[in-house]
Structure 1
Amino acid sequence: MNQQMLSLANFTEDNLRAILQALPALIWLKNADGVYLACNGRFEQFFGALEKDIIGRTDYDFVNKELADSFRANDLLAMQKGGLHINEEWISFANDGHRELLETSKTPLYTADGKLIGILGIAHDITKRKQLEKYEKFRSSTLELLAKNIPLPSVLEAIVRGVELLHANFMCSILLLDKEGKHLVDGVAPSLPTFYNQAINGVEIGIGVGSCGTAAFLGQRVVVDDIANHPYWEPYAELAARAGLGSCWSQPILSSELQILGTFAIYHREKNALADLDVYIIEQSAQLASIAIERKRIELKMQHMAFHDALTGLPNRSLLDDRLEQTKAACRRHHRFAAVLFIDLDNFKPLNDEHGHNAGDLLLLEVALRISLCVREVDTVARFGGDEFVVILSDLESELTHAEQLACDIAEKIRASLSAPYQINISNTHKQTCVQHHCTASIGVVLLRHLQHNDIDIIKLADQAMYQAKATGRNKICFLDSKP
């Protein structure tokens, strides 16, 4: 037993200091008057002095009076409480000037008979923990923002500004990949110079196209600590220098299916190396941007599906009704005429019967394209259902005769286009078959007048006109007046 106690005593005496020196926390011991009795190496870094030069002195010998007063006040609180006292404080380290947020625990020490010896202090760096807590709070608020009907650019700017608020030395940007997947566009970078944002908007991605162009091309994070001396930035060295940029870390924004949507980048004014916490921030920020982009794209897709035909992509009946109301309002406002064309294919069913609905769908796609090529950008082409289409000719002439002539000319252009032979390539698991099909169209045309009878069912009238065209032999145009 005595031998065991001796070994423990030897261990305590020989190794206690080594253990304290190895701990990452700041550890120190003061007497009741605030005079240092001991400290470890981490504490030496804070004061920028060796332990032998710290022992026997007080805080007032190393830091300014305001900070020393706060240290002394916390010491006295711990001694008055007679127990553990915890506080948080920002500390600048004398050895290299860096700052840390410390959680400081001060515990009064007593002799066996209850006499106060002094204070034991232990301080842990909680900078990373607090930053992560702040980031998680920011992340949660951003996710809540996504639930609201806010435009995507505003959401992306909120992400950028939110990260910059958490890290004062960050300048962030989000760039989106265009539909072709070749260019970075629609930049959101409020802290970067306008001339810089304008210069990189539309840049084609590739290796050596800065950090973002390279990251988007490779699909992996690109870290450039020193822009002025990195080959990826050679083509943009002058631009970056003019913008005062020293480093750029770029993270690709990936969809849930790992498709590249764009990039999230963090810039610094000076050269800057990527730290562990920075990796977490840039990855999480890119993920937030991904969630925002995908969510908005899904919303747009759902809106499109609600108002467009699934096969042809043309407006459906719901959107057609809305466009028609807009056209009526424009007619009243500008005192111009409009027209509605109702189109029905004359020889569509035999194709479906002989070659199946896939062939019919391919023909309908071609019909939709041909009609669209015959009208103006201001006009509306909609699929009414089955093999029926409706065209709204907006903003025709203000003079009746000219408006009628223009409507008839466009209708004839459509009729002639739809009567040309169709080449339908039908694919199946065994072979591909090319089918030639002849399909004409019967078209009913009704002029929409701007001064009267705007409550009339103009589409129903155009449908009646279409049936008259069929009755006269098909592949015809029948014009009806909307007057009672």
Structure 2
Amino acid sequence: MNINSKDDIRLEDILNTTPVAVGWSSVSSGRIEYVNKAFRDLFGYTLDDIPNIESWYSSVSSKPQYYQDVIEPWIKECQESDVAHALKTMLHCKDRSLKQVSVTFSLVGDKRLWYFSDVTDYWIAEKRLRARSEMLEMVAKSSALKDILNVIVKQVQQESPFSLCSVLLFDKANQSLKLGAAPDLPDFYNNAIDGIKIGANVGSCGTAAHLGERVIVDNIHTHRYWKNFTQLAREADVAACWSDPIMSSKGDLLGTFAIYKRFPSSPTDKDFELINFASNLASIAIENFRVQEELERRAHFDHLTGLANRRQFFEQCETILNQSKEAHLSLAIMMMDVDHFKQVNDDYGHKSGDLALQKLAETSLSILRKEDLIARIGGEEFAILLPLTGKKEALLIAERLRANIESCSLFSPDNEKIHITVSLGVAFKQGGRCSVDELLNKADKALYRSKALGRNCVYLLED
């Protein structure tokens, strides 16, 4: 059907009032002859920018052969079935942002009218729902935290093209940020920020964690927060960073979520919405992980001293003992008991008794070697495993423990000085078959000998 000039004007006027993006192209030549206002608003392209339909589809898709591989087969399929079913696709706008659109067409003579419906918001909502469901399923299955955080990061990067995202985890003990997930940032960059101390002017993330509030840096190269990190940012090819503190349901800092841009830029309202979405999801994942981690810790460690508990000690001992049997290696086990501990509780109160046990644990850890294992296996009873340790060395370690605990400074909540001592029993084993219970029983007998000798001393029970 031919469209004369009078009809063109009327049709253009009509199409310019519709909220649907519309354009038409010549079927025979492929030349684009008209786009309406909604099309220009949606994609940013004017008629002068897009000479023909093939070149336009190729330029707005991330795939070079998109027109030949997708559009042409779709047009042919629609014509053969006589039904122009919608094609949902992701297209780049002139400003390089992405739009998820539903495309249909109709034929009017030699003109193919194209209709583009923006379904980006629906697509985002659907993708977010899927990402949230996937993350929650992974949380329920106790998947690795890094894998869960990667799901969140990938979703944000998909919604925000040309963005690179990271999740850093807050280490309260060291007041630092540890790498949680940043799959697309360079390894050298991730290594450089892994373990960085939080504080003012420590990039976007270190500052956000320090202040407990969102930090927007639209130009890394000129902002004071990045003064000490501009070279690192240049090498990583990032120029803007927006960071949000990730908070727990109780208001505690869990980490930071950051969106990096390769060019200076400020966030839009949609970016803020995206940051909120990501931070909330990350909060759920990290908080759940911390809860599970705490439950696991309580299952294997003493809540008061932080030392291994009886269960953990026996499991570790069994493993090391089996290795010692096979290789005929030496090891020693010690039993350590606080002398007259009931009297400490009676004289200074149970709070002072707890402080005494915590001080004993702290002092012991400062003396024992990295490979040694100490556990609280009773009220004031402690067991110590010394792998690859000879008789003479075991006695030296036991004596150092005794002397250091005797000389440590300890005060009650009322600032009264408390004096504690310990008795130690040592059992030594050089290869051969022996169970953990047998060794502990020997060390326990040695401990009773130590107490019988007047306490505050070390006794070795020969194998």
Q: Determine if the TM-score, normalized by the shorter chain, exceeds 0.5.
A: yes
Per the alignment, do residues 406 and 188 of structure 1 end up closer, same or farther by CA in structure 2, a change over 3 Å counting? same
Alpha-carbon offset, residue 305 of structure 1: 0.9
Counterpart of 2:426 in structure 1 is 445
Match of 1:41 in 2: 37
Return the alpha-carbon distance in structure 1 between the equivalents of residues 34 and 158 of structure 2.
39
Task: Give the structure 2 partner of residue 8 of structure 1.
Answer: none
- Given candidates 405, 408, 425, the residue that maps to 2:395 is 408
Correspondence 1:268 to 2:264: no
274, 284, 293: which one pairs with 1:281? 274
Q: Please give the alpha-carbon distance, in whole angstroms, between the structure 2 residues aligned to 1:337 and 1:71.
A: 75
Aligned-residue CA RMSD in angstroms? 4.3
Give the unaligned 5+ runs of structure 2.
1-11, 59-66
C-alpha deviation, 1:460, in angstroms:
1.6
Displacement of 1:162: 4.5
Is 1:25 aligned to 2:20, yes or no? yes
Name the counterpart of 2:238. 245
Cα pair 1:421 1:436 within 8 Å, conserved: no
Q: 1:218 aligns with which of 211, 219, 222?
A: 211
The structural deviation recorded for 1:216 is 2.3
One-letter amino acid of the counterpart of residue 274, structure 1: P
Deviates more, 1:175-184 or 1:69-78: 69-78
Paired AA for residue 25 in structure 1: V
1:41 maps to a residue whose letter is K
1:205-249 CA distances to partner (integer Å, 9 max, x unpaired)? 344433323322332223333434444444433332333223322
Aligned to 1:200: 193
Structure 1 length normalisation: TM-score? Answer: 0.74
Q: 1:190 to 1:306 in 2, by over 3 A?
A: same
Distance 1:63 1:284 in 2: 32
Residue 411 of structure 2 aligns with which residue?
424
Q: Tell me how far 1:96 sits from its aligned partner.
A: 6.5
Q: What per-residue deviation string (whole Å, max 9, x for no partner) do you get for residues 24-58 of structure 1? A: 4336899xx9xx999863246567359xxxxxxx9
Q: State the SS of the aligned residue for 1:457.
A: helix
Q: Which amino acid aligns with 1:396?
A: T
CA-CA distance at 1:130 after TM superposition:
0.9
Shift of 1:321: 0.9
- The 2-side partners of 1:294 and 1:247 are apart by 28
Amino acid at match of 1:349: K
Alignment of 1:133-212 (within 5 A): 133-165=126-158, 167-180=160-173, 182-186=175-179, 188-212=181-205
- Give CA-to-partner distance per residue, 1:275-305, whole Å, 9 cap, x none: 3333232222222322222222222221211
The residue number in structure 2 matching 1:479 is 460
Aligned-pair CA distance for 1:313: 1.5
Change (3 A) 1:102 1:445: closer
1:467 aligns with 2:440: no
SS in 2 for 1:326: helix
Give deviations 1:68-121, integer Å, cap 9, x for gaps. 97998899799x67xx9755455666x877653333678999xxxxxxxx9998
The total of aligned residue pairs comes to 437
Unaligned runs of at least 5 residues, structure 1: 1-16, 51-57, 110-117, 398-402, 427-432
Which residue matches 2:63? none
1:373-388 to 2 correspondences below 5 Å:
373-388=366-381
Query: 1:174 touches 1:189 (CA, 8 Å); kept in 2?
Result: yes
Q: SS at the partner of 1:331?
A: helix
1:420-479, CA deviations, whole angstroms, 9 ceiling, x for partnerless residues? 4864322xxxxxx23344444333222123124457611122222222333343334333
Q: Which residue in 2 is equivalent to 1:113?
A: none
- How far apart are 1:172 and its partner, in Å? 1.6
Separation in structure 1 between the aligned mates of residue 224 and residue 420 of structure 2, nearest angstrom: 60
CA gap 1:304/1:85 in 2 versus in 1, 3 angstroms: closer
- Mean alpha-carbon deviation: is it higher for 415-424 or for 329-338? 415-424
Asked if structure 1 preserves the Cα contact closer than 8 Å seen for 2:421 and 2:456, the reply is yes
In structure 2, what residue type is equivalent to 1:152?
Answer: L
Say if 1:364 and 1:18 are closer, same or farther in 2 by CA, change over 3 A. same
Deviations 1:305-345 (A, max 9, x none): 11122211221111121232133224224433222222233
Conserved in 2, the CA contact under 8 Å of 1:252 and 1:264? Answer: yes
For structure 1, which segment, 221-230 or 277-286, has the greater mean C-alpha deviation from structure 2 after superposition? 221-230
Q: Which amino acid aligns with 1:469?
A: S
Worse-matched range after superposition: 100-109 or 143-152: 100-109
Q: 2:121 aligns with which of 128, 140, 146?
A: 128
Distance 1:106 1:422 in 2: 85
Letter in 2 for 1:42: A
Question: TM-score, structure 2 length as denominator?
Answer: 0.77
Is the 8 Å Cα contact of residues 74 and 85 (structure 1) preserved in structure 2? no
1:385 Cα deviation from its structure 2 partner: 0.9
Task: Describe the shift of the 1:436–1:28 C-alpha distance in structure 2 as closer, same or farther (beyond 3 A).
Answer: closer
Q: For residues 158-206 of structure 1, what are the alpha-carbon distances to aligned partners after superposition, in whole Å with 9 as ceiling and x for unaligned?
A: 4334443555522222223333464333363232223333333344434
Alpha-carbon distance between aligned partners in 2 of 1:177 and 1:101, rounded to the nearest angstrom: 36
Segment drifting more, 417-426 vs 301-310? 417-426
CA distance in structure 1 between the aligned counterparts of 2:123 and 2:75, rounded to whole angstroms: 25
Q: Classify the secondary structure of the residue corresponding to 1:474.
A: coil
Check the 8 A contact 1:173/1:189 in 2, yes or no: yes
Q: 1:410 to 1:289 in 2, by over 3 A?
A: same
Return closer, same or farther for 1:460/1:137 CA change in 2, 3 Å cut-off.
same
Which segment is superposed worse, 324-333 or 198-207? Answer: 198-207
